[in-house]
Amino acid sequence: MSRRRKLRRIGVVAKAASREAVHTAQELTEWLRRRGLEVALDETILRAGNIGGMGQDPPLRIGEDYDLVVVLGGDGTLLSVARTLAGKVPILGVNLGNLGFLTEISRGELYPALVEVLAGRFRTETRSLLDIDLHRQCGELPGDTGGTAGLRYRVLNDAVITKSALARIIELTLRVDGHLVARFRADGLIISTPTGSTAYNLSAGGPILSPLLGVAVLTPICPHALSLRPIVVPDSGVIEVTLETPREEVYLALDGQEGTLLGQGDTVSITRSKATVKLIKVSGRTFYDNLRGKLRWGGLHNGGPGGDGEPK
Amino acid sequence: MSRRRKLRRIGVVAKAASREAVHTAQELTEWLRRRGLEVALDETILRAGNIGGMGQDPPLRIGEDYDLVVVLGGDGTLLSVARTLAGKVPILGVNLGNLGFLTEISRGELYPALVEVLAGRFRTETRSLLDIDLHRQCGELPGDTGGTAGLRYRVLNDAVITKSALARIIELTLRVDGHLVARFRADGLIISTPTGSTAYNLSAGGPILSPLLGVAVLTPICPHALSLRPIVVPDSGVIEVTLETPREEVYLALDGQEGTLLGQGDTVSITRSKATVKLIKVSGRTFYDNLRGKLRWGGLHNGGPGGDGEPK
Amino acid sequence: MSRRRKLRRIGVVAKAASREAVHTAQELTEWLRRRGLEVALDETILRAGNIGGMGQDPPLRIGEDYDLVVVLGGDGTLLSVARTLAGKVPILGVNLGNLGFLTEISRGELYPALVEVLAGRFRTETRSLLDIDLHRQCGELPGDTGGTAGLRYRVLNDAVITKSALARIIELTLRVDGHLVARFRADGLIISTPTGSTAYNLSAGGPILSPLLGVAVLTPICPHALSLRPIVVPDSGVIEVTLETPREEVYLALDGQEGTLLGQGDTVSITRSKATVKLIKVSGRTFYDNLRGKLRWGGLHNGGPGGDGEPK
Amino acid sequence: MSRRRKLRRIGVVAKAASREAVHTAQELTEWLRRRGLEVALDETILRAGNIGGMGQDPPLRIGEDYDLVVVLGGDGTLLSVARTLAGKVPILGVNLGNLGFLTEISRGELYPALVEVLAGRFRTETRSLLDIDLHRQCGELPGDTGGTAGLRYRVLNDAVITKSALARIIELTLRVDGHLVARFRADGLIISTPTGSTAYNLSAGGPILSPLLGVAVLTPICPHALSLRPIVVPDSGVIEVTLETPREEVYLALDGQEGTLLGQGDTVSITRSKATVKLIKVSGRTFYDNLRGKLRWGGLHNGGPGGDGEPK
């Protein structure tokens, strides 16, 4: 907790779909202005939080010229902000519902936390991002004139390649640093950061990753071959996934919020991003404290011998 | 292996997308006619085998007035035939690729097997089907005028309720015999027969079910709550699944071959069908022999102490 | 809920290690005697509840001449009683700690529940038991003179064949109705009733079975081959497991409470028992209600998009 | 593949229980001596390979004054050597059975590989080891006079804390860098290196770790709470596991080959070892090639639609 330069310009982002978030944003803006701080309330991102059809995020107006961005909403809202901002501005996540993994400050802790932050009493935790490059090799998709298209995305949680509900099982080829790992059939593949390891990856059977590790986990979704298991690899190399199957509806989804269609022969290439996300930590809560709380590890499942059904 | 009435009228169904299947069908037709049997070669179903977009199956021309239907293709082709025919006609499945769970006669065994079958030396194995009723409660889907629509489907393997690739996680309510089992978030839910237990259910982490059990297995796909596990229930009752989530693209897929959109409030109701499928068994292969072969249970995964890496 | 003959002789069994159980037993005895009922307080079983070294249970004094047995303790205590009594006497399980799957009456519900039971207003649920026969083929174990020894056990939850902590991986052969299922390497194998499916089976990755199904589930513990999965089979046949590995310490554990050593060539044979257990149900709680409560299915694991971290 | 100093003194270790290993060792010794090299044939370790009761390894006679150690046997034999030698001497693993993850040179490749190695044409791969310190806090074990005993072990694959077959479920507290991760009930806990991730860890549901990562994976064995999942943590910190349960038989097993009893209050402390193991790589086989071969990832599990049962 070193001394820091004074915070002057504060960005406030709230989840637009939430009345409470918008109300809290207004109240917070006043609170900050009363303390002589310059505040910008960004509503653009808010609508992006309300993502039914996974449209493209509009460009975030709040840029790197801010000293701090306060996010009011949940982990989903913070993901949007982080992916778009992806920069050097530290983010303070405030959760208006239940605590999240990324937004661990509750509504009631907001002002006490801000007092600490404005006084410079906080630490930041740096989370890695992945750059997702889509190499489109052919004119397979409708309206696609072929050639190689270069599209770049960025994720804080995960990139997911997954077939549509009615498509038949798809075949993917996975390479790490140019070496073939497997060509396999599955519903899809999750490429997750440590931050994303507690999200979709966990539902699909992947392991929990300590948040500061320089790794990614590759977790197949409902693989055909039962021996195909999650693999943890360094994020310093290049992970490449190629769609081998023609004529099926397959998508690349980014942080579960944006998406694009994939065609046969398309290769998704994943590398560690130079950009990182800086999360402000005020509480003494550790990652493991969050895990225990969210996954209810105090809980026991049965009433068998030695189970919790026994009086002591 | 009791005495049976003489087989006279034989239907032959082949997977149209497969040259080999069509060629074999022609050869088989001649072989059967030379033996004085009446043969109908059904090509209608063939095109249905080639199901990119999961269109509706055309009506099968071969009906219950046949004494035997020979299916040339794979398990997928047999699924189509069984679902459509769903009756009292015994089916002989011939696999032109690797052996399947349903089509366990290989190309080379076709004629020896038929000699046995025509001589009445075979047994039949009865597999259960599930009736799938879709109760549409509201006018949520585009072009839907509301009210209750009653759609009935039939499956030999499974009914799968699953979100589209870009939809957010969905919420389902599961009831068995009117009792609430759980309201939960997941990518979807598989309701599988014993026959289907070795298909999608297995990829999603469900158990293998002995083929003659009167049960269904309910297997969540990538559930949010890690404690939500596959549940085996009697198929004599009523399983009901209601989609609680609005405005997300969710499908009901039947045997992985047909599908329909679901809207909020729609309830899928699953009961044991009165119809069954009769599979002809000529070989002495048991279900467990098939499992061992297909799942390669001879195999060992590691080279640790006691592993297969050690010389004996 | 038919009319029943009057209950006269009540057995009371309490977990001896628990002061509260013993105290409640005394109080209950007085309460029952005041109502003119004949009561026997059995302390023999109590000590058996306190099973460090998995000694043999002492014979239960309370026999089939009782009209009702009240068990005060937890699921473990009820398992002991059920296994030993294994008869026609209905059992009322009272849990003094958290609710169990078998003991779903809480301390506070004891007397209201008994009033209902004594008035004949209850239903009974019949749970299947498995008979476990151990065929010892050879003189492999120390002090064993060889020949075939026939030992019979009975379980309400499960029979578990498992290697000791320091033994190397063991090899087992599994047969169902005389058919080879698999010869495989693992830490062990669980053979569980529907009642036991929510106990050890669940921890080892097995499915939940509806309690009234006539099935058993065979769940390998940490199998070498990753494709070896839980299998649900009819309990009407014969399940046989043979230990193939010599010179390793391997045990057969029964309901996690009794155990015996196994030697190479020993075969454990499992069939459905003629005896059953009758559990008294007073509450309207269903099996699924218990599942939801014990497995906390309301819970959600993550704070990702759509997760519970978002305000609504 | 840099230039190296000339190899002069070669140690040869063979699995004593294997006739083939001993025979090959003799042949190899002659082959090496004919080339003017000094050879020591170590038979001490051999007996250690034959570990029924997990006795203590005898001290290895071949020490760090050797330039190369050739191990003839399997991964288990190499584990013994690596754990004992744990030093700067590069190891060439030769598998006399099926290929292992550590011993990827086959019998037929032995001499061609040695020609390459003696000519200096090889690379070495450095694998991390874990130091396992046992802090015994009390006089709980029989014959134990109390106080703190410091025992240090070293593993290349894994340290496993696990209850004996007949013990009831045990309770463990897991801490990482002094932070509480969870206090939980399970059959045990595996702490595995990347090298060990494909061994016991994989059978227990843990992920595969790329071999050069600086991480350890903590995988619970049959945990009571279904939400308790494998966790990947940096190996640069301190992992501590404390046994909370009294009076149950619990063991600490090291690489599945050595073991010691644990008592209540005992803490096992795991840190990255300063020593490493250097494996000689001659073949172009990657880690992923080994995975594909050993886990048979070419394989497909079912014959459903799109399965391998279909002709193309």
CATH number of the domain at C151, please: 2.60.200.30
The whole-number pLDDT of residue D144 equals 57
Cβ contact (<8 Å) for C202 and B229?
yes
The predicted model gives D175-201 an average pLDDT of 97
Q: Are D171 and D136 in contact (CB under 8 A)?
A: no
Among candidate residues B231, C279, C50, the one with its CA nearest the CA of residue A305: C50
Question: Which tokens sit at A178?
Answer: 């140019």
Tell me, rounded to whole angstroms, the distance of Cα B225 from its chain centroid. Answer: 28
Is the model's pLDDT at D45 over the cut of 60? no
Angle between helices B110-118 and B19-34 (to 10 degrees): 40
The whole-number pLDDT of residue D308 equals 34
Other Cβ atoms closer than 10 A to B29: 18
Confidence of residue D300 (pLDDT cuts 50, 70, 90): very low
User: If phi over 0 gives left and psi between -120 and 50 gives alpha, with beta otherwise, what is residue B99?
Assistant: beta
C105 & C213 share domain? no
The whole-number pLDDT of residue C300 equals 42
- Give A76-95 pLDDT, tens digit per residue: 889 988 887 767 789 999 99
Judged by CB atoms within 8 Å, which residues 156-215 of C form the interface with B?
A: 168-169, 176, 179-182, 184-185, 202, 206-210, 212-213, 215
Instruction: Establish if C3 belongs to a structural domain.
Output: no
Q: Which of C75, C235, C255, C266 is catalytic?
A: C75
Q: Are C233 and C239 in contact (CB under 8 A)?
A: yes
Confidence of residue B19 (pLDDT cuts 50, 70, 90): confident
- Give B34-84 pLDDT, tens digit per residue: 999 998 877 654 454 433 333 333 334 555 678 999 999 888 889 988 887
Please name the amino acid found at residue A35.
R
D207 & D242 share domain? yes
Q: Are D311 and B97 in contact (CB under 8 A)?
A: yes
Indicate the length of chain C as a whole number.
312
CA distance A305 to chain C (A): 4
Least confident segment among A257-261, C47-51, C260-264, D138-142: C47-51
Query: Could you tell me the end-to-end alpha-carbon distance of chain B, in angstroms, rounded to an integer?
Result: 45
C-alpha span between D214 and D272 (Å, rounded): 9
Among candidate residues A163, A158, A10, the one with its CA nearest the CA of residue A76: A158
The whole-number pLDDT of residue A176 equals 97
Residue D249 belongs to what domain range?
A: 129-274
Cβ contact (<8 Å) for D229 and B227?
no
Backbone φ, ψ for residue A227 (5° rounding): -85, -5
Instruction: Establish if B304 belongs to a structural domain.
Output: no
The predicted model gives D182-208 an average pLDDT of 97
Across the strands, what pairs with C259? C253
Please name the amino acid found at residue C97.
G
The whole-number pLDDT of residue A236 equals 96
C-alpha span between C294 and D128 (Å, rounded): 41
- Name the residue among B222, B250, B251 with its Cβ closest to that of A204: B222
The whole-number pLDDT of residue C50 equals 39
Among candidate residues B145, B18, B140, B125, the one with its CA nearest the CA of residue B82: B125
C201 & C238 share domain? yes
Average pLDDT across chain D, whole number: 84
Is the model's pLDDT at C299 over the cut of 50? no
The whole-number pLDDT of residue D55 equals 37
D79 & D164 share domain? no
- Name the residue among C52, C223, C249 with its Cβ closest to that of D247: C52
Is the model's pLDDT at D299 over the cut of 50? no
D247 & D289 share domain? no
C-alpha span between C292 and D181 (Å, rounded): 25
Instruction: Establish if D311 belongs to a structural domain.
Output: no
Q: Which residue of D has its CA nearest to A209?
A: D232
Backbone φ, ψ for residue D265 (5° rounding): 90, -15
Angle between helices D19-34 and D110-118 (to 10 degrees): 40
C-alpha span between D127 and D214 (Å, rounded): 10
The whole-number pLDDT of residue B298 equals 66
C149 touches B at CB < 8 Å: no
B54 touches C at CB < 8 Å: no
Instruction: Establish if D227 belongs to a structural domain.
Output: yes
The predicted model gives D261-277 an average pLDDT of 95
Q: Residue D46: in which H helix or E strand, if any?
A: helix D44-49
Cβ contact (<8 Å) for A213 and D215?
yes
The CATH number that applies at residue B108 is: 3.40.50.10330
Is the model's pLDDT at C12 over the cut of 50? yes
Q: Which residues of A touch B221 (CB under 8 A)?
A: 222
Q: Which residue of D has its CA nearest to B52?
A: D306
C287 & C266 share domain? no
C-alpha span between C129 and C271 (Å, rounded): 9
C-alpha span between D177 and D234 (Å, rounded): 10
Higher confidence at residue B92 or residue C168? B92
Is the model's pLDDT at D52 over the cut of 80? no
C-alpha span between A255 and A268 (Å, rounded): 15
Confidence of residue B147 (pLDDT cuts 50, 70, 90): low
Interface test with A, best of B163, B203, B249, B291 (most A CBs within 10 A): B203
Average pLDDT across chain A, whole number: 84
Is the model's pLDDT at C156 over the cut of 90? yes
D136 & D227 share domain? yes
The whole-number pLDDT of residue D196 equals 97
The whole-number pLDDT of residue D74 equals 86
C-alpha span between A130 and A152 (Å, rounded): 10
Is the model's pLDDT at C120 over the cut of 60? yes
B229 touches A at CB < 8 Å: no
Highest mean pLDDT among B29-33, B298-302, D50-54 belongs to B29-33
A267 & A291 share domain? no
Instruction: Establish if A57 belongs to a structural domain.
Output: yes
B21 & B117 share domain? yes
CA distance B144 to chain D (A): 31
Cβ contact (<8 Å) for B97 and D310?
yes
Separation in Å, CA A141 to CA A136, B172, D183: 10, 33, 52
The whole-number pLDDT of residue C7 equals 87
Across the strands, what pairs with A117? none
Higher confidence at residue A98 or residue B199? B199
Q: Are D144 and D137 in contact (CB under 8 A)?
A: no
- Give C171-205 pLDDT, tens digit per residue: 999 999 999 999 999 999 999 999 999 999 999 99
A75 given a catalytic annotation: yes
The predicted model gives B208-217 an average pLDDT of 97
D265 & D288 share domain? no
Higher confidence at residue B77 or residue B239? B239
Instruction: Establish if B239 belongs to a structural domain.
Output: yes
Confidence of residue C92 (pLDDT cuts 50, 70, 90): very high
Percent of chain D at pLDDT exceeding 90: 57
The whole-number pLDDT of residue B155 equals 95
DSSP letter for each residue of C281-303: E-S---HHHHHHHHHTTT-----
- Give D6-29 pLDDT, tens digit per residue: 888 998 988 877 788 888 988 999
- Name the residue among A165, A200, A222 with its Cβ closest to that of B163: A165
The whole-number pLDDT of residue A4 equals 58
The predicted model gives A186-206 an average pLDDT of 97
Q: Which residues contact C143 (CB under 8 A, 6 or more apart)?
A: none
B134 & B252 share domain? yes
Least confident segment among A171-180, A239-248, C107-116, C149-158: C149-158
Instruction: Establish if B4 belongs to a structural domain.
Output: no
Among candidate residues B231, B102, B218, the one with its CA nearest the CA of residue B156: B102
- Nearest 5°: the CA angle B266, B272, B275 is 120
Is the model's pLDDT at B241 over the cut of 90? yes
- Give C262-297 pLDDT, tens digit per residue: 999 999 999 999 999 999 998 888 999 999 988 988
DSSP letter for each residue of chain A: ----PPP-EEEEEE-TT-HHHHHHHHHHHHHHHHTT-EEEEE-HHHHHHS-SS-PPPPPPS--TT-SEEEEEE-HHHHHHHHHHH-SSSEEEEEESSS--SS--EEGGGHHHHHHHHHTT--EEEEEEEEEEEEEE-SS-STT---S-EEEEEEESSEEEEEE-TTSPPEEEEEEETTEEEEEEEESEEEEE-TGGGGTHHHHTTPPEE-TT-SEEEEEEES-SSTT---EEEETTS-EEEEE--SSS-EEEEETTTEEEEE-TT-EEEEEEEEEEEEEEE-S---HHHHHHHHHTTT-----STTSTTS--
Task: Count up the domains in chain B and report the number.
Answer: 2
A165 & A102 share domain? no
Interface test with B, best of D15, D310, D312 (most B CBs within 10 A): D310
Instruction: Establish if B309 belongs to a structural domain.
Output: no
Least confident segment among A38-47, A209-218, C260-269, D271-280: A38-47
B258 touches D at CB < 8 Å: no
Confidence of residue A98 (pLDDT cuts 50, 70, 90): confident
Alpha-helical regions (H) of C65-134: 75-85, 110-118
Beta strands A267-281 and A123-136: pairing type?
Answer: antiparallel
The predicted model gives A275-282 an average pLDDT of 92
